[in-house]
Amino acid sequence: MKRTLLFIATNLGIMLVLGITASLLGVNRFLTSNGLDLTKLLMFAGLMGFGGAFISLLLSKPIAKWSTKARVITQPSNSTEQWLLNTVAAQAQRAGIGMPEVAIYEGEPNAFATGATKNSSLVAVSTGLLQSMTEQEVEAVLAHEVAHIANGDMVTLTLIQGVVNTFVIFIARIVGYFVDGMLRKNDEENTAPGIGYMVTVIVCEIVFGILASIIVAWFSRQREFRADCGAANIMGQSQPMVAALRRLGGMAEGELPKNMSAFGISGKGGAMALFSSHPPIEERIAALQAR
């Protein structure tokens, strides 16, 4: 419940800030008496699309900590925590990035990485993963997350999300304008957009948003293959990552918050494969063995 409320509150806050910014810049006045001002509409769509994506990226680390109740290791309290810090430090050095924060959270087997930049990131692992995997398998999972950071995957996915958001907002309003015009073609007295415009924009944003999520999910799946290979490079061999994936394939997957699922180590396939942020584990293993 807290995660859902945080997600809603964060999005409302982002939309409020962007709405005020759009008003101050004047780019929200794209509906004119002469029709659509496509330049202003594109500027508005870009501000809302990229602005929302980048604000979410900047907030990703604190939100991840809060939503998973992850505890950042500052002073190791046991040998496991010390090993985690040492392992991530060595991997970060090999990957050429700054030392990420390392955290542990309660939950079923999973792990994730997040953060706005390569040198200001977070790697978190669940207690379930630490308890269910061998040390070498955990090391491979950590290397996978470090590879995500080194590859700049958080920023890349944010840019992709920003592009598709912009097109969804832009095209939805063009379609809404023309549909509204057709519905009111005999009403010459009122030139302002009517209910047809608003309803069409909402419907188009939902439909186009679903289609856009397929594109984003495809890019996310390609990142997973790259991160698997990156883990193998960091460790100097593929077998530990293969073993970790095989183990994950036989485990109950730990669910992550929606805004973190694309950065976890495991994901869902099946009938919803087009919307999955992760490829099937069998495909990931085959790709590693073929490299």
pLDDT at 25: 82
64 vs 4, residue with greater confidence: 64
Is 278 annotated as ligand-binding? no
Average pLDDT, the chain: 85
pLDDT digits (tens, 9 = 90+) for 43-66: 999 999 999 889 988 988 998 898
Q: Which residues of 15-35 are buried (b: 16+ CB within 10 A; e: fewer)?
A: eeebeeebeeeebbebbeeee
State the Cα–Cα distance between residues 77 and 63, nearest whole angstrom: 24
Is 144 annotated as ligand-binding? yes
Tell whether the model's pLDDT for residue 263 goes beyond 60: no
pTM greater than 0.75 (yes/no): yes
pLDDT digits (tens, 9 = 90+) for 167-195: 999 999 999 999 988 887 766 666 667 78
pLDDT at 257: 47
pLDDT digits (tens, 9 = 90+) for 88-120: 999 999 999 999 999 999 988 889 999 989 999
CB-CB neighbours of 58 under 10 Å:
13
pLDDT at 8: 55
227 vs 1, residue with greater confidence: 227
Q: Could you list the active site residues?
A: 145
Q: Among the ranges 28-32, 131-135, 266-270, which has the highest mean pLDDT value?
A: 131-135
pLDDT at 191: 60
